Amino acid sequence: MPETLLSVREIHTYYGDSYVLQGVSLEVAQGCIVAILGRNGMGKTTLIRSVAGLTPPREGDILFRGRSLRGRPSYAIAQEGMAIVPQGRRIFRSLSVRENLVLPTSGLARGPRSMPVDDHSRRWTLELVLQEFPQLAERINHLGGALSGGEQQMLAVGRALMANPELILMDEPSEGLAPRLVQHVEEIMRRLKARGHSVLLVEQNLALAMAVADEIHVLSSGRFVFHGTPAELAGASEILDQHLGVAATRFA
Amino acid sequence: MTSTILQAINGVSFAALLFLLASGFTLSFGLMRVVNMAHGAYYLLGGYVGLTLAEQTGSFAVAILGGGAAIVVLGYLVDRFLIRRTGENHLAQVLLTVGLAFVIGDVALAIWGGDNLKVPVPPFLRGAVELPGGVYYPKYRFVLIFFGALVFAVLWILYRKTQIGAVVRAGVDDREQVSATGINIDRLFVMTSGLASFLAGMAGVVGGAFLTLYPGAEWEILVFALVVVIVGGLGSLEGAMVGALIVGLLDAYGRWLLPEFSYFVLFGPIALLMLFRPRGLFGTEH
């Protein structure tokens, strides 16, 4: 049984006055990909933002490697070993590709525990990230704002990897990408897993989540209505139909 | 002809001083979105502290560094205990910092009095240089132009070519994402604000050596600095430089050619510019 890396316990999160997450719990084990599915407006992005400390929950607790993240600013949470690939990529537009990538290596990003000492051979460097995404190497001196959507997605993943995180939070990485690029995102996720990263993935793309995830949660109106393996979800026709809006026959 | 050139030098040297004050203001606004109207008071107080240090130690360098350092300390306390409470509320920031500027001005009046005081300049910076054509011009103002250019070059390299500069630019783009990337944004704010404070205090010493220091000087210089920042575009270092040159030259030629309308010569073209480029010359959307 792999160790639990992230443990979300009964969190309640508000966005302004609206009550978005209404008691959500989940666990991500070391080296696993856990996917959150759900339609728009069900609280998926809020869940990612709660974990990253960008929209802290009002109640409940989030533990990372057994330590509570309550009340910690988002940079301190990131320094614990968590990186986010946010919705809409949020590339720094006026920075070059290189500057975007090396940003997490700044002295201001070095936390007390951000250096996992055990395995240096696993560490990402600029060279390794550029090997992984050769297209970024070609455009290394271009401004982030000048890249295409697919390139920005690679840059967002590359930027997250440069922080050498144990857990990567990915918010709709397939959003707005052509099918060929979604295929690429799928390959990237598999390689991340092979390298030992854990991923909490929020997606609307059912096929992508089914293909890469070890576990799936389905979020509906701020609560989980399903938790199981992709195979179990494929058999849960009511969930697919009611909460994800797909005909069950597609995965039967 | 000679007067035209002299006015140009007047304008550029005033621009060098305005750049010192406006560069810090524009960078700290671009990153932290804080409108600090006490910047003029920082200038005046830095000048007074420098004046006292220059009189005590006889060193102009000590005066510049000490005047800047005093404002770094004051600016940190103001940020930490006052401005932070205003959050994102610009109106509250303006009211708070305008009030603060009055308090600083009155305290300075109580300590240094109401006379025009001049920061003493070391002998090698005094006197005049002879220009071609037998015209003499104050040496100090030439040195000020070189000093302003040097500060611009240092700030530009820091901002455009170093990793810490990239972090600040990223923060101007998207503060939340900078923090989510693991950058200690609180420390970044303290550093940037400290630099802005240092530049303001230093500007007071440098400016106090030729414009003199007196009650009310903080508001006069603040108006010019604000115009520079607005013309150049909030958050743009290059904009602060170009804006300072425009304002400095318009002011110099306005005072010379149309002394009765010198404020109009300054603000008329700027009102026109605002009509067509409301974000300033180098401004981007925030």
% residues pLDDT > 70 (chain A)? 92
Kindly give, in sequence order, each residue whose CB lies less than 8 Å from that of residue B146, ignoring residues fewer than 6 positions away.
none
Nearest-angstrom CA–CA distance, B263 and B271: 12
pLDDT of residue B259: 87
CA distances to A123, A156, A161, B127 from A197, rounded to whole Å, are 11, 16, 9, 69
Contact between residue B276 and residue B283 where contact means Cβ atoms under 8 Å apart:
no
B/e letters for B123-162, b = 16+ CB within 10 Å, e = fewer, are eeeeeeeeeeeeeebbebbbbbbebbeebbeebeeebeee
Residue A139 neighbours by CB under 8 Å, 6+ apart: A97, A146, A147, A151
| Res B171: pLDDT | 92
* Residues 6+ positions from A52 with CB-CB distance below 8 Å: A74, A77, A78, A82, A84, A169, B180
- Decide if A7 contacts A43 (C-beta within 8 A): no
Question: One-letter amino acid identity for B153?
Answer: A
| Predicted pLDDT of residue A119 | 55
Residue of chain A with shortest Cα separation from B190: A108
> Residues A167, A169, A174, CA angle at the centre, nearest 5°?
135
pLDDT at B87: 86
Of A53, A100, A108, the CB nearest to B183: A108
Nearest Cα residue to A119 out of A196, A11, A183, A223: A196
Dmax (CA) for chain A in angstroms is: 53
User: pLDDT over 70 for what percent of chain B?
Assistant: 99
How many other CB atoms sit within 10 Å of the CB of residue A234? 17
In the predicted model, is pLDDT for residue A92 greater than 90? yes
Measured between alpha carbons, how far is B208 from B42 in angstroms, rounded to an integer?
Answer: 13
From A109-118, A131-140, B21-30, B190-199, the region with the lowest mean pLDDT: A109-118
A156 → chain B, closest CA residue? B181
Mean pLDDT over all residues of chain B? 93
Mutate to test the interface with B, among A92, A96, A161 (most CBs of B within 10 A): A92
Contact (CB<8Å) A103/B173:
no
Predicted local confidence at residue A247, as pLDDT:
56
Put simply, the answer to whether A52 touches B184 (Cβ < 8 Å) is no
Summarised one tens digit per residue, pLDDT across range B66-76 is: 999 999 999 99
Task: Kindly list the domain boundaries of chain A, sorted by start residue.
Answer: 4-91+166-251
CB-CB neighbours of A61 under 10 Å: 14
This prediction has a pTM of 0.89
Indicate which of B172, B177, B185, B284 best probes the interface with A, i.e. most A CBs within 10 Å of its own CB: B177
Decide if pLDDT at A26 tops 80: yes
Domain B2-276 has CATH 1.10.10: no
% of chain A surpassing 90 pLDDT: 73
- Per-residue confidence band for B64, with pLDDT thresholds at 50, 70 and 90: very high
Given this model, what pLDDT does residue A252 score?
44
Q: DSSP state, B276?
A: H
Indicate the SS3 state at residue A218: strand
Structure tokens at B141: 């103002």
| Residue A250 clears pLDDT 70, i.e. is over it | no
Quickly state the pLDDT bin for B30 (edges 50, 70, 90): confident
pLDDT tops 60 at residue A114: no
Residue of B nearest to A158 (CA): B181
Which of A74, A82, A140 should we substitute to test contact with B (largest number of B Cβ atoms within 10 Å)?
A74
* Between B130 and B243, residue with greater pLDDT: B243
Q: Per the CB < 8 Å rule, is B174 touching A78?
A: no
- Segment B6-16 shows an average pLDDT of 94
CATH architecture of A4-91+166-251: 3-Layer(aba) Sandwich (3.40)
Contact A108/B180, CB-based, under 8 Å? no
- pLDDT value for A123: 85
Q: Do A103 and B170 touch (CB under 8 A)?
A: yes
The reply to whether residue B182 touches residue A83, judged by beta carbons under 8 angstroms, is yes
Q: What is the mean pLDDT of residues A50-64?
A: 96
Encoded tokens for A148: 């295409």
Q: Could you give the CA distance from residue B38 to residue B42 in angstroms, rounded to a whole number?
A: 6
Report the C-alpha gap between B120 and B243 in whole angstroms: 29
Q: How high does pLDDT run on average in chain A?
A: 90
Taking CB atoms and an 8 Å limit, are A83 and B166 in contact across chains? no
Q: Which residues on chain A are in Cβ contact (under 8 Å) with B189?
A: none
CB contact under 8 A, A92 and B163: no
What pLDDT, on a 0 to 100 scale, did the predictor assign at position B286? 53
Q: What is the ipTM of this complex?
A: 0.89
Nearest to B105 by CA among B217, B268, B17, B15: B217
Contact B181 A54 (CB under 8 A): no
The residues spanned by each domain of chain B are 2-276
pLDDT at A48 over 50: yes
Average pLDDT value for residue range B224-229: 93
Q: Which of A74, A105, A114 sits opposite B180 (nearest CB)?
A: A74
Residue A65 confidence (pLDDT) above 80: yes
What per-residue confidence (pLDDT) applies to A111? 64
How distant is the Cα of A160 from the closest Cα of chain B, in angstroms? 7
pLDDT tens per residue across span A178-198: 888 899 889 999 999 999 999
Instruction: Please say if the pLDDT value at position B133 is more than 90.
Output: no
> What tokens appear for B172 in the block?
């101007």
pLDDT at B182 over 70: yes
Decide the pairing of beta strands A82-85 and A167-171: parallel
Q: Is there a contact between B45 and B74 (Cβ–Cβ < 8 Å)?
A: yes
Q: Chain B: residue nearest A49 by CA?
A: B180
**Residues in a beta bridge with A50:** none
Q: What is the mean pLDDT of residues B229-257?
A: 92
pLDDT at B163: 93
Q: For position A99, what pLDDT does the model report?
A: 96
Residue B263 pLDDT level (bands cut at 50, 70, 90): confident
CA distance B139 to B129: 6
In the predicted model, what is the mean pLDDT of residues A18-29?
95
pLDDT of residue A178: 87
